[in-house]
Structures are given as structure tokens and as C-alpha cells.
Amino acid sequence: MILTYAKIPGTDLPLLRRDPVLPSDMATVHGWIGDEKARVWFDLGGGCQSLSSRALYLLLTSPRNHARLFRAPEGGEPLGLSCLNDVTNLMGSADIWGMRGLYASGPRHLAAAGMLLMLADGFIDHGRNVIGSWITEGNMLSIGMHERLGMRQTGRQRARHRIGDVYYDRLLFDMTREEFAARYPDVAASSGATIRGRVTRLLEDA
């Protein structure tokens, strides 16, 4: 069965369903992140590139973080994961990361769609002023995805990431709430709210 995906408003990216991470999902999610080809790009805290299933679940469901699995609108198996770290930061910032599910079938640009929807959650539902990310130099697919979404490269951390015995730079990207609002006024957060809708209500109430 071939699924037809609606588009995220104002984009050519597939509209996905966002679901909280449940204990029943952890075998799948832990398998994705624990895969040797995937985990080399991660830093799950203190330089760790792998966690036990329980530790990973606690990370993804911590009140300080906001993680969602992405599925087809009709449901089914999870297709990917995206997470905002430190959404309670009093400075108004957060960090974003995620991945397309290994071996998962799904539409093109699935990871970009998942990240965009998570940015909407961060800016609209969690009131973040800026959301940042880092990418290991050489991860061209991830760099291209960030650039496609309009995130800007703002810096470089030299020799910050190790894969095997080789050290690589980390490239820093971010997006501000103002930049998100200008580029994606009609992209809805999990609450259903959009930037345009909030501005319209403020004008109506004025």
C-alpha cells in the first residue's frame, strides 16, 4: 500500500504524526541509535555514543527534554525520532537532534520534516528564542538538511568529535524564533498553534 502524505503548509515536506515516546517503542528506538553506522554521529552526554534502553528512555522522557516519534498520519510503525534538549533553559534556548529510523520506509525528506515539526514545537509550544544544533564535519546529508530548513551555520568547534581514532570538527547551526516566523508562519506545533494564528489573535484582541 502506497501512502499519500499531505504537505507541511508552505513547504514540500511530508506532514507527519507526532507521538510521545512510550516504553513499547524503545526496542525500535534503541536499535536505531545503537546501530554502529548511526551512533558514530551522536553524543548522548559526556561523549557517550550508546546508552542502555532504560537510560535512553529516561533521556527522551525527561521533563527537561521534548522528544517525539514520527509516523505516517494513519499511524503504524515509527519512521523517525526528533528531540529538543533543555527546553526548560531559562535563557530561552534549546538544542535539537534526531534521526530517520533505520530501515524505515517513508517519504522523501522524512528527517527534514521531522526536524521542522520539532522546531515548531520548540518555538511555539515551548517559547524558545533560539534553537541550535551541531553536526560532525563530513556528515553532508545532515548539513544539507539543516541548510534546506534555513538554519544558519554560526560557528565551528575544532577537533570536538571523535570517530574511531580520528577527530573531526563540529559545525554549529541555529535558527531564531524571528527567522522561523518569517519562513514558516503556517507550520503548526503539536498544540495546533501557528505563528500566523498567534499574531492574528493578538491583532484581534488589540
Domain edges within the chain: 17-185+192-205
Contact 115, 81 (CB under 8 A): no
User: Measured between alpha carbons, how far is residue 108 from residues 16, 114, 193 in Å?
Assistant: 12, 11, 25
> Number of H helices and number of E strands within the chain?
7, 7
pLDDT in the model for residue 92: 98
Contact 87, 127 (CB under 8 A): no
What class, spelled out in words, does domain 17-185+192-205 have in CATH?
alpha beta
Q: In what order do the strands lie in the sheet with 152-163?
A: 17-19, 66-72, 75-85, 93-100, 130-136, 166-176, 152-163
pLDDT in the model for residue 4: 76
Distance of CA 136 to the CA centre of its chain: 16
Provide the CB-side half-sphere exposure for 38 (13 A, CA). 18
In 3D space, the residue among 8, 28, 32, 3 whose CA is nearest the CA of residue 18 turns out to be: 8
Three-state SS for 82? strand
pLDDT in the model for residue 106: 78
Grid cell at residue 155:
560557528
Q: What is the pLDDT along the chain (206 residues), one digit of tens a residue?
A: 556 789 999 999 999 999 999 999 999 999 998 888 888 998 888 888 888 999 999 999 999 999 999 999 988 889 999 999 999 999 999 999 999 886 656 788 999 999 999 999 999 999 999 999 999 999 999 999 999 999 999 999 999 999 999 999 999 999 999 999 999 999 999 999 999 987 676 556 65
User: Cell match 546501530: residue?
Assistant: 35
* CA quadruple 109, 144, 149, 19: dihedral sign: positive
Q: How far apart are CA 59 and CA 69, in angstroms?
A: 14
Contact 18, 70 (CB under 8 A): yes
User: Cell match 535563557: residue?
Assistant: 91
pLDDT in the model for residue 9: 97
